[in-house]
Chain A
Amino acid sequence: MFRFLQNSPHLLELFYSATGKALIPFRRVLKKGGTAERVFVDIEKWTKGAMFDCRMCGQCVLHSTGMTCPMTCPKEMRNGPCGGVRADGRCEVLPDKPCVWTQAWIRSREMPNYGNDILHVLAPVNRRLKDTSAWINHLHPENLNPPAGWQQ
């Protein structure tokens, strides 16, 4: 079941944009630091954990990375594969696993809506957002602003 969904990136990107839109009306209720966030954190741990092996960075970029979680890369690369990928497409650090980015690239090619987001440079990870709800953070984009020097 999970394997089927993981390899259906187009389905996932449709689901991604649908949930994004569905949550907007609840923007006022869903705030950081409340009970709602605690519940959301648990839901995200269960669903995204099972689906993507989510590491709860709190700043989901799955649509920019072929619906493959970049935080499962041992080097937490968010901007593409390192130079150590093995000839058979496996990871340099964890040789029994496929490189996250070889999968991300293949899947991104099957995503008509967000597929080309993989070509853009992403800002450094905001380490303070770890273990917070990415969905609530997305409803309040000021939480996701990159550092001031990066933006200007």
Chain B
Amino acid sequence: MRSGSHLERVLRSGKFAVTAELNPPDSADPEAVYERAQTIAASCDAMNATDASGAHVHMSSVGVCALLSRAGFEAVMQVSCRDRNRIAIQGDLLGASAMGVRNVLCLTGDGVQAGDQPEAKPVFDLDSMTLLRTACILRDKSMFLSGRKLDAPPKLFLGAAANPFVPPLDFRPYRLQKKVEAGADFIQTQYCYDVPRFRKYMEKVRELGIHEKVFILVGVGPVKTAKSAEWMRTNVPGVWIPDDVIERLKKGGKGEGKRLCVDIIQQVREIKGVAGVHIMAYKQEELVPEIVAEAGLHVTLPSNMP
């Protein structure tokens, strides 16, 4: 145990883990965070707070995670390289750990053009890989990137993202290997709607032996309708949805998105090397408890959760 993280404990004990995405509110009211947390908290082992995802500003992930941790919830703080340079990020990692945050997901981040303030300056001083290694240096060597010593290192369980579904497909497993080399303890993937493609990816991952060095959580989520699936496929960067899935949603009608999500969870669960799922139910958070129950998943709640 490197971090005292509840998520790490669940994963190391060999249980199938469930994480869920919490979308930070457009609000300065802490109650808005707790309301959202209550919807999903009892159905997951940890909650991810996004960091201005899609380049849209919301309450900061550091703020959300500090609130959640203080109240006894288990949070995964997403950190993106789009908005802050290495000086700001290292400070935030120390601050977050001091506030009780024990899990960090290191991301590069969407480009600023994806959001509603495309005139902003994109920073990208670090990338996801160098951010990951930087966090690792803070934790394991107890020093800043510059070599300056820390009095107390942050306690963090370090995560990274992977997208097995977009080109260059045959490079993706090697990129995962690089992330493990850079210090990733766990991985959360982009939405999986193409199980055969994911299976193929995992074959290569197992061949390289990566699944033994890192916990892989597969990203899943319910889509509302076939139309919204088509919209996501063309407009959300990095989301791959094959035609047969869209056909199924067209035919299935109401509730098919949720059934599809449950099916995918059950299918990926059988794949060797998969350690859990990460449920991203954007603006449908109320579905998370149903999905978890219908997929037959069991979660372990943190001992001090309210």
Contacts and interface: CB of A to CB of B under 8 A. Distances in A.
Given A149-B137, A152-B147, A102 B168 contact: yes
B166 A121 contact: no
The binding surface of chain B is classed by DSSP as loop
Contact of B125 (A74, A102, A127): A127
A56 to B, nearest CB: 17
Contact of A124 (B82, B111, B130, B166): B130
Contacts of B182: 79, 121
Interface of B: 81-82, 86, 108-111, 113-114, 122, 124-130, 133-134, 137, 141, 143-148, 161-163, 166-168, 170-171, 174-175, 177-178, 181-182, 190, 237-238, 240
Given A80-B178, A121-B182, A75 B124 contact: yes
Contacts, number: 123
Contacts of A123: 130
21 contacts: A74-B122, A75-B111, A77-B124, A79-B127, A79-B128, A80-B129, A81-B175, A82-B238, A84-B111, A85-B163, A86-B167, A89-B167, A92-B110, A105-B168, A105-B171, A120-B178, A121-B133, A121-B182, A123-B130, A124-B126, A125-B125
Interface string A115-133: 0001111111101000000
Contact of A119 (B125, B141, B177): B177
Interface in A105-152: 105-106, 118-125, 127, 147-150, 152
A97 B137 CA distance: 35
Contact of A147 (B124, B145, B240): B145
Most A CB atoms within 10 A — which of B128, B161, B166, B237?
A: B166
